[in-house]
Chains A and B, each alone.
Chain A
């Protein structure tokens, strides 16, 4: 039975004025009835374009077909064939520019809500699924994964399923990478990330936290002293960028990384029950227009700031954040100061922020990347009263690995250089993927890279084995 509605079944959400005061998940999720109704909107195309839009090639029409038949358990296993973190992807993937962008129903009306259905299936399985995780047959090979974020966890899961003994080294005390330190609870509950990681442990993945590779052990030592046959580096883009303007080191200026890590990983929103503090102030400005900026602004709102503004130097159409995140932020009362660029931050005598001076910008012609250039409007300077500034203008890869692995080739931006089709680096037996290679990108692209590398590592180690014999 086909559902010809041009609109997606609506996602139940917490009311904006309720949710902007709590950290509970904003989107509540489909009921089984809603999921079945939405699944019936899928045409099950013979040549499904949606799959082409998915970096990990989830068998979308097949799993949606199973949802329509209420075979939720089977639907989950169908997704699992290619994706290791469906509950995460269903929540944080930019479906609107990937699978859903290619959906034929999008030609007339809204595309099928693939993301919402994926989330429903994963959540259903977490609650009702049968726990059966057949332990893979060990193949006698050891692989080290550096970084327990989306790229590393995907790579670890895929290799463990093939029988490798996988150890994941994580610098923080909790695995998950950006899923736990960056993305807030209200967008991705940490309990869901934990459940996904527990599944990896069940299939034999060892996770060693508190291990800063590059300090406690080098990549070289992993391959020699520690006896790993191959290494995957998925260390992400952890180095925060600052604007380089006057006053950036005043008290009350945070990098988005620091602000979000305090809140998400260290649970500063539950201070003083948790020891880690955060200081919000009354007026908060978040610099930047990406998803990280939206997350920071929405956190600040929830922590009681009276006024939270996104300050972005380009216009609404240029904002890199997902439209859904921008809309959520607006609904929750975040103000958007667009075409506005900070020039300097002014402080009190004892070093606290008081004001931020900005200049108005105007859009010009598109540059070589297709993004419209912006120019200052001379004489348009003005001051905003602020007591907290959060800098969310991007991150680049952390230098710890490259500075301690001399034979690992990196580019001028500090990104690890790899062969795109395999994730192979310049160092034999070492593969890399995710933000450490691309610079800050998305969870799903990192997962795709982890998957590609796992495949290539399996082939490399199989060849190596044959050579030795």
Chain B
């Protein structure tokens, strides 16, 4: 069992858990992910590593409550334990060569973009961070991000905080103002990563995206996480999760992300019924 030693509610739909997993913590690197299973009935679900502490032997995961597993996960707190916690999986991000980088986090993607910005910043790269959220209430990790970059730009869809607009607007503004980046790292919803990749393509800036595909084992066994990159089928779990955003077939990835949409609704209804019974 893997004890949850800390839980923080970051906003209405986003929570953080710090999990005791010494073996995973020893090897974890930014860009890698873990797979957890809550209990015997649970699904195996991948989460990108948001932070790790080798001394404490812990790994931090930040999740948004979107479906069955995250809803159930959010019902747990410090003192509870997860049945399974496997990792670190996937390839670590290759950040060494970059001197000047724009790191972009869309919504929950900020949680995954943050360790990358932190590592780049520690390595001495100049980091601009652009984080986009729906509104002021959805903002996460603002202080942590501010400490891990030279400039932090907050964008909100409704203008309730920072500048009103999408992350792509800010990036375009910076590029048009003559900002030079060796690379852009974009992590967030598929549509956002696609938009960033399309924006940087004419500029020829290397753009790295992180694919959080549906998968079971995370070791290359199921092939559920197939993603087409430069016309070739890759497995996000072992060949990624980072890929060149200019080469990823996002349209296919978006379609594939909906494979179990119907079942996901069914599972949620099932859970709601069970909870209703418990409350009765």
Contacts and interface: CB of A to CB of B under 8 A. Distances in A.
Determine which residue in A215, A248, A255, A257 has the highest number of CB atoms from chain B within 10 A of its CB, and name it. A215
Given A173-B37, A215-B27, A275-B42, A350 B255 contact: yes
Contacts of B42: 275
Contacts of B3: none
A2 interface: no
B270 interface: yes
A243 B44 CA distance: 27
Contacts of A273: 41, 270
A210 B217 CA distance: 10
A277 interface: yes
Contacts of B260: 277, 279
Interface stretch (B80-88, B109-117, B197-205): B80-88
14 contacts: A173-B83, A209-B84, A210-B85, A238-B217, A238-B219, A242-B223, A249-B252, A251-B259, A261-B216, A261-B221, A277-B260, A277-B264, A277-B266, A279-B262
Interface in B247-280: 252, 255-256, 258-260, 262-264, 266-267, 270-271
A217 B68 CA distance: 31
A249 B43 contact: no
B123 interface: no
Given A215-B88, A249-B252, A255-B222, 18 more contacts: A173-B44, A173-B86, A215-B219, A217-B27, A248-B233, A250-B255, A257-B222, A261-B216, A261-B222, A272-B267, A273-B41, A275-B43, A276-B43, A277-B260, A277-B266, A351-B258, A398-B219, A400-B219
Nearest to A395: B221
B217 A261 contact: yes
Nearest 3 Cβ contacts at the A-B interface: A351-B255, A277-B263, A258-B222
Contacts of B26: 216
A272 B238 CA distance: 29
B196 interface: no
B254 to A, nearest CB: 8
A272 B270 contact: yes
Nearest to A275: B43
B27 A251 contact: no
A272 B69 CA distance: 12
Nearest to A240: B223
Nearest to A238: B221
A254 interface: yes
Given A249-B233, A279-B263, A262 B216 contact: yes
Determine which residue in A212, A240, A248 has the highest number of CB atoms from chain B within 10 A of its CB, and name it. A212
Contacts of A217: 23, 27
Contacts of A257: 221-223
A23 interface: no
Interface of A: 171-173, 209-212, 215-217, 238-240, 242, 248-252, 254-255, 257-258, 261-262, 265-266, 271-279, 350-351, 398-400
Contacts of A171: 86, 217, 219
Contact of A216 (B27, B252, B263, B267): B27
A276 B44 contact: yes
B220 A266 contact: no
B240 to A, nearest CB: 14
Nearest to B259: A251
Contact of B220 (A172, A350, A400): A400
B221 A240 contact: yes
Contacts of B255: 250-251, 350-351
Determine which residue in A238, A242, A272 has the highest number of CB atoms from chain B within 10 A of its CB, and name it. A272
Nearest to A239: B220
B77 interface: no
A351 B69 CA distance: 25
B256 A249 contact: yes
A351 B43 CA distance: 24
A134 to B, nearest CB: 31
Given A266-B44, A275-B68, A351-B256, A210 B219 contact: no
Contacts of A277: 260, 263-264, 266-267
Interface string B209-229: 000000011111111101010
B17 interface: no
Contact of A212 (B41, B86, B262, B263): B86
Contacts of B259: 251-252, 279
A399 B238 contact: yes
A251 B223 contact: no
Determine which residue in B69, B219, B224, B260 has the highest number of CB atoms from chain A within 10 A of its CB, and name it. B219
A398 to B, nearest CB: 6
Contacts of A211: 23, 86
Given A215-B27, A274-B41, A255 B86 contact: no
